[in-house]
Amino acid sequence: MHIFPGVASPVPDGRIFSGGQTANNRDIVNLTDAELEMRHGVRWLRTNVESGQYLKISWNHTVVHATRGYRYFITRNGLDPTRRATRADFEDAPFASVINRTPPLNTMPMQAIKLPTDRTGHHIILSVWMVSDTGAGFYSAFDVNFVGGGGGGGETENPASWSPNSVFYPVGVLCFAQRGVYRCRSAHTSNSGWAPGVAFTLWVYVRPMV
């Protein structure tokens, strides 16, 4: 895993998803469901998937970098969701890699990765975005729930309607607005001018409401 400048090597347990960073509210991505619910009244979204399926991923980076590729790690079976993730929770090797072999080193915004066939229940997928034009690397994580046949691909809950009344929205949370579902891409406290479908730096469109 990438070593971040100014961060102890390796990235410390409990701060993996922020790359060891804690400034500017970055530590929020490391919170457990219980911690997030206590502070902000929401839990991390879990997406239903099936073992062995191809998971489609669409990246929309706010800053573009020349890209070497992405590596995807997954937690071992038996993940304890009551504590923050540690390096020991993850398999040593990535289960999928998407690598740019030759120029141009574009950001590879659309990908489809094959999920492992030996997972059940709740898991966390950790993506490491490897860039070639800086000394940095970038981590992203998302929760998935491995289910039986016919359940792959959907969200486990319907999102709540967006509110302009000073509600805190952490990264990754879904909400309903403008006849569609949007995902928060930058943590913020809402106001009337930062609505999904208007504030594109804060929200990304996911799908129509069903």
Per-residue pLDDT tens over the stretch 76-101: 998 998 999 999 999 999 999 888 77
Phi, psi angles (nearest 5°) of residue 115: -80, 155
**pLDDT confidence of residue 182:** 86
Minimal CA–CA distance to 123: which of 74, 87, 157?
74
Residues 103 and 164 in one domain: no
* Cβ contact 113:142 at 8 Å: no
What residues make up the domain containing 186? 160-208
Residues 86 and 138 in one domain: yes
Residues 137 and 164 in one domain: no
**pLDDT confidence of residue 210:** 60
**pLDDT confidence of residue 3:** 42
What CATH number has the domain bearing residue 187? 2.10.10.20
Q: Is residue 173 in some structural domain?
A: yes
Q: Is residue 10 in some structural domain?
A: no
Residues 91 and 186 in one domain: no
Residues 22 and 79 in one domain: yes
Q: How far apart are CA 137 and CA 130, in angstroms?
A: 5
**pLDDT confidence of residue 156:** 43
Supply 200's token pair: 């594109």
Q: Is residue 155 in some structural domain?
A: no
**pLDDT confidence of residue 152:** 40
Domain boundary among 147, 180, 200: 147
Task: Let me know if 58 is exposed, middle or buried by CB neighbors in 10 A (0-12, 13-18, 19+).
Answer: exposed
Tokens 């991923």 found at: 57
Q: Is residue 152 in some structural domain?
A: no
Which parts of the chain have pLDDT scores under 70? 1-9, 102-105, 107, 135, 148-158, 209-210
Domain boundary among 95, 125, 147: 147
**pLDDT confidence of residue 102:** 67
**pLDDT confidence of residue 13:** 92
**pLDDT confidence of residue 124:** 96
**pLDDT confidence of residue 104:** 61
**pLDDT confidence of residue 158:** 60
Q: How far apart are CA 128 and CA 16, in angstroms?
A: 11
* Cβ contact 107:45 at 8 Å: no
Say how many residues make up the chain. Answer: 210
Q: How far apart are CA 106 and CA 153, in angstroms?
A: 27
